[in-house]
Amino acid sequence: MENKAKKILIADDEPDILEIISYNLAKEGYETYTAKDGNDAVEQARKLQPDLIILDIMMPYKTGIEVCQLLRSLPAFQDTLIIFLTALSDESSHIKGLDTGADDYVSKPISPKVLVSRVNALFRRINKEDGKTVTVGNITIDPVRFIVAINGSEIVLAKKEFELLYLLASKPGRVFLRNEILSQVWGTDVIVGDRTIDVHIRKIRQKLGVDCVTTVKGVGYKFEL
Amino acid sequence: MENKAKKILIADDEPDILEIISYNLAKEGYETYTAKDGNDAVEQARKLQPDLIILDIMMPYKTGIEVCQLLRSLPAFQDTLIIFLTALSDESSHIKGLDTGADDYVSKPISPKVLVSRVNALFRRINKEDGKTVTVGNITIDPVRFIVAINGSEIVLAKKEFELLYLLASKPGRVFLRNEILSQVWGTDVIVGDRTIDVHIRKIRQKLGVDCVTTVKGVGYKFEL
DNA sequence: TTTTGTGTAAACATATTGTTAATGGAAAAC
DNA sequence: GTTTTCCATTAACAATATGTTTACACAAAA
């Protein structure tokens, strides 16, 4: 399962931050490398072919966004994970820039724990999306093609529906608390109303036409045939 | 499981913020306490032994970081959850301090909803630990899947029924006083009538169909085959 | 017998979820 | 650039499961 250590390249012009991030990720078993500015980041990235690149937005020579755009234009970096570090003041002006292909962004000031957990989450997500098709009974859920199949016939789910179903089905039988579902599918910062999960559950049940999502009242939901 | 209310200590020198946070967390069922500066925070923390401490970084007498470091050096606070509140201006100068052992941080200005969801997430992470499957004879109680199985056939219990059974079965043979049961399953602040436990016990007996819950008259109940 | 504690069923209240329709926004099609 | 379609979310209400109390029966101890 846990194969070779993932390589992470961290680019920031503040040595302190580099050190803290590097230290904390190394402690988690990642192989860390650092770059001190935009040009350095590009160079190192080409050399190392890291699995994840953490880019500060504000850096000398090239901003994180420029680095990201440059790398994304290369075939070898299509699938490389990228996280932006943004000062809060950057936010509005640069959120658009996140459309350049970042997989997540973390705002400063940085809590090592938060960053580490985001990184872990990202790798988890990738590991799953990397071909981990879930099959339970006659139901197959393919995260690569974004398709659910029951006895061969394909069913199209919307994004949230799919993510929710995939989460539940990834551990069949296990109950997911509503909170858990929220933070896994919607994220910790997004707040949605109480009925949102229900509505999506209903759509899933409706579309699948098979009774495979069970309610555990007062607790949550589970996937089960 | 969802037992007694968690104690949360909130330390900030702005009364307004204290009130907002306190109000919103109390609404969620937490037991909230407040401290108005660093020294106060330390003192209250030692008195209350809260489950979670929310610390503003900038406070008179002692900063949140200092409070955190001080508490973390005490054995009693090794496992206490700590969240920092950081203003934007704190940023780089205090990032180092965040490695003192915070479990999360939330930046100002604070959205009550975000804070509440972070708090919930944090507690959820902790609660996850006690999800061990209990097996006694041919009865299996699995809190992860939320089912009870007798000889392989699954039995669905309601939440309270399940929690009650899980409590008893977690220490087979041991007698649980009615008081104990109340505080463990219902929590200390919930008041219910005398017959409530009985009714749940009866439902458990009824659903399980096996005589495994024994009455110890004048004392309580125990799980026993 | 009286007292005390428990078992049980039904009634009631509440909490939680299910469902539908409406809204606004984003993406896709034109 | 405009229209159209689809999706995520919310609000409002219905439906249901669950939790609690009530009332009384029953049993064991005092």
Per residue in A3-31, pLDDT (tens digit) is 467 889 999 998 888 888 888 888 777 88
Q: In angstroms, rounded to a whole number, what is the distance separating the alpha carbons of residues B94 and B105? A: 12
Q: What is the pLDDT of residue B98?
A: 47
Q: Taking a C-beta distance cutoff of 8 angstroms, is the pair A50, A7 a contact?
A: yes
Report whether pLDDT(B197) > 90. yes
Percent of chain B with pLDDT over 70: 84
Is A24 within 8 Å of B88 when comparing Cβ atoms? Answer: no
Q: What is the pLDDT of residue B54?
A: 93
The gap between A163 CA and D13 C1' (Å) is 28
User: Which of A107-111, A132-136, B47-51, B117-121 is predicted least confidently?
Assistant: A107-111
Report whether pLDDT(B132) > 90. no
Q: What is the pLDDT of residue A71?
A: 84
Give every CB contact of residue B134 below 8 A, 6+ residues apart in sequence.
Answer: B140, B141, B166, B169, B170
Q: Taking a C-beta distance cutoff of 8 angstroms, is the pair B98, A111 a contact?
A: yes
Structural domains in chain A, CATH included, are: 7-129 (3.40.50.2300), 134-223 (1.10.10.10)
Q: Is B168 exposed, middle or buried (0-12, 13-18, 19+ CB in 10 A)?
A: buried
Q: What is the pLDDT of residue B99?
A: 52
- pLDDT-derived band at B1, boundaries 50, 70, 90: very low
Report whether pLDDT(A44) > 50. yes
Of B95, B117, B144, the CB nearest to A191: B117
At position A127, the amino acid (one-letter code) is: N
Of B95, B117, B124, the CB nearest to A110: B95
Q: What is the pLDDT of residue B50?
A: 92
Contacts of A173 in chain B (CB under 8 A): 144-145
Q: What is the pLDDT of residue A143?
A: 82
Report whether pLDDT(B56) > 60. yes
Contacts of B114 in chain A (CB under 8 A): 188-189, 191
What is the 3-class SS of A116-138, one letter each residue?
HHHHHHHHHHHHHHCCCCEEECC
B96 touches strand C (CB under 7 A): no
Q: What is the pLDDT of residue A85?
A: 82
pLDDT mean over B183-195? 88
Strand C neighbours among A 142-161, CB < 7 A: none
At position A209, the amino acid (one-letter code) is: G
Q: What is the pLDDT of residue A204?
A: 95
Q: What is the pLDDT of residue A91?
A: 46
Contacts of B144 in chain A (CB under 8 A): 173-175
Q: In angstroms, rounded to a whole number, what is the distance separating the alpha carbons of residues A187 and B167? A: 32
Q: In angstroms, rounded to a whole number, what is the distance separating the alpha carbons of residues B167 and B169? A: 6
The gap between A199 CA and C25 C1' (Å) is 18
Percent of chain A with pLDDT over 90: 34
B205 touches strand C (CB under 7 A): yes
pLDDT mean over A37-57? 90
Of residues A169 and A2, the one with the higher pLDDT is A169
Q: What is the pLDDT of residue B155?
A: 94
B216 touches strand D (CB under 7 A): no
pLDDT mean over B50-66? 89
CA distances, A79 to each of A6, A128, B11 (Å): 14, 14, 44
- pLDDT-derived band at A203, boundaries 50, 70, 90: very high
- pLDDT-derived band at A41, boundaries 50, 70, 90: very high
Report whether pLDDT(A146) > 60. yes
Token pair of A199 as six digits: 């509505």
Task: Report residue B22: phi and psi, to 5°.
Answer: -60, -45
Token pair of B76 as six digits: 């009693």
Q: In angstroms, rounded to a whole number, what is the distance separating the alpha carbons of residues A64 and A222? A: 41
CA distances, B60 to each of A82, B36, B66, B225 (Å): 39, 8, 11, 59
**Distant-in-sequence contacts of A195-204, Cβ < 8 A, 24+ apart:** A197/A164, A197/A221, A200/A160, A200/A161, A200/A164, A201/A164, A203/A157, A203/A158, A203/A161, A204/A157, A204/A161, A204/A164, A204/A165
Give A206's Cβ-side CA count (13 Å radius): 9
Q: What is the pLDDT of residue B97?
A: 47
Q: In angstroms, rounded to a whole number, what is the distance separating the alpha carbons of residues B62 and B68? A: 10
Q: Whole-number mean pLDDT of chain A?
A: 82
Of residues B215 and A171, the one with the higher pLDDT is B215
* B127-160 core/surface letters (b: 16 or more CB in 10 A; e: else): eeeeeeebebeebbbbbebbbbbbeeeebebbeb
Report whether pLDDT(B216) > 80. yes
Token pair of B220 as six digits: 């309580």
User: Residues A57-95: pLDDT tens digits?
Assistant: 889 998 888 888 888 777 677 678 888 887 654 444 444
Report whether pLDDT(B183) > 50. yes
Is B121 within 8 Å of A188 when comparing Cβ atoms? Answer: yes
Q: In angstroms, rounded to a whole number, what is the distance separating the alpha carbons of residues B77 and B171? A: 28
pLDDT mean over A161-190? 87
Is A14 within 8 Å of B102 when comparing Cβ atoms? Answer: no
Q: Whole-number mean pLDDT of chain B?
A: 84
Stated length of chain B: 225
Token pair of A108 as six digits: 């400063």
Report whether pLDDT(A100) > 90. no
Q: What is the pLDDT of residue A93?
A: 40
Q: What is the pLDDT of residue A126?
A: 61
Q: In angstroms, rounded to a whole number, what is the distance separating the alpha carbons of residues B66 and B88? A: 19
Report whether pLDDT(B177) > 70. yes
Q: What is the pLDDT of residue B38?
A: 93
Token pair of A84 as six digits: 């932006």
Q: What is the pLDDT of residue B125?
A: 62
Report whether pLDDT(B120) > 90. no
